[in-house]
Amino acid sequence: MPIAEQTGQIVPIGYWVLEETCRWLQAWHDEGGAPTYAAVNVSVLQLYDPALVGRLRTLLDDHPAAWGRLVVETTETAMMEDYDHTRGVLLELRGLGLKVFVDDFGTGYSSLSYLRRLPVDTLKIDQVFTAELGSSEEALFVVRAILALCRSLGLTTLAEGIELEAQARILEADGCDAGQGYLFARPMEPAQVGALFGRDEP
């Protein structure tokens, strides 16, 4: 990924991933349903691509089942590269009906005054904090502070890197809305996702 970022190849790779995600959302829907949403990471270079919004609109038009289900994720650091530009792009994405997640929250240096003005829906708590839940009081304090911040801003929360039942119980008890990690599932092929939701490969 770092090499793809440095060479600019992350942009065509990113569009391929977006297209494949929309294609599979449509295929799963046509087979009788689809996951609630599918999230795709968008790099800072894509956020600066003037074609981004138009290409996403075309993808959604070509795959109607992806409307309302496609989620765009970008990192806290990427959002702070050029705040005004990023905010404008995210507003356009929200205008398409996409939800916006902040990935790896807690590892960057965003200003809270900026954060509250960004058009985002969910903060994803970085796994560096999740991994230490149950063994580090400091990590627990940080997670609780992020959860409290999100509640005050009206944002939902998702914790990354959950591998243990104990971590999931702590997060649930403190009001975290959702989680992801090996405790729930390992990475899988699209056909396996279809099977998980009770459908065959399209």
Q: Are residues 96 and 126 in the same domain?
A: no
Q: Are residues 93 and 125 in the same domain?
A: no
How much is the pLDDT for 192? 80
Contact 98, 134 (CB under 8 A): no
Interatomic CA distance for residues 37 and 70, integer angstroms: 6
Least Cα distance to 44 among 98, 6, 96 occurs for 6
How much is the pLDDT for 55? 96
Q: Are residues 91 and 5 in the same domain?
A: yes
Q: Are residues 100 and 47 in the same domain?
A: yes
How much is the pLDDT for 178? 96
Pairing type for strands 156-159 and 122-125 reads parallel
First-last CA distance in the chain: 29
Least Cα distance to 53 among 23, 97, 118 occurs for 97
Number of domains in the chain: 2
- The answer to whether position 94 is within a domain reads yes
How many other C-beta atoms can be found within 10 angstroms of the C-beta atom of residue 3? 8
How much is the pLDDT for 109? 55
The tens digit of pLDDT for each residue in 90-104 reads 999 999 999 999 887
Strands (E) in 76-172, as ranges, are 99-105, 122-125, 156-159
Range of the domain at 139: 121-196
Q: Are residues 1 and 78 in the same domain?
A: yes
- The answer to whether position 130 is within a domain reads yes
pTM of the shown model: 0.85
Interatomic CA distance for residues 148 and 186, integer angstroms: 29
- As given in the structure block, the two tokens for residue 53 are 């919004």
Contact 58, 106 (CB under 8 A): no
How much is the pLDDT for 202? 39
- The answer to whether position 112 is within a domain reads no
**Whole-number average pLDDT of the chain:** 88
| Below-70 pLDDT ranges, the chain | 33, 106-113, 198-202
Interatomic CA distance for residues 167 and 3, integer angstroms: 33
Contact 161, 181 (CB under 8 A): yes
Please report which residue ranges of the chain form alpha helices under DSSP H.
2-7, 10-30, 44-47, 52-62, 76-79, 83-95, 112-115, 127-130, 137-153, 165-173, 190-196
How much is the pLDDT for 200? 45
Q: For residue 35, what is the domain's CATH number?
A: 3.20.20.450
Interatomic CA distance for residues 77 and 29, integer angstroms: 34
Residues, the chain, total?
A: 202
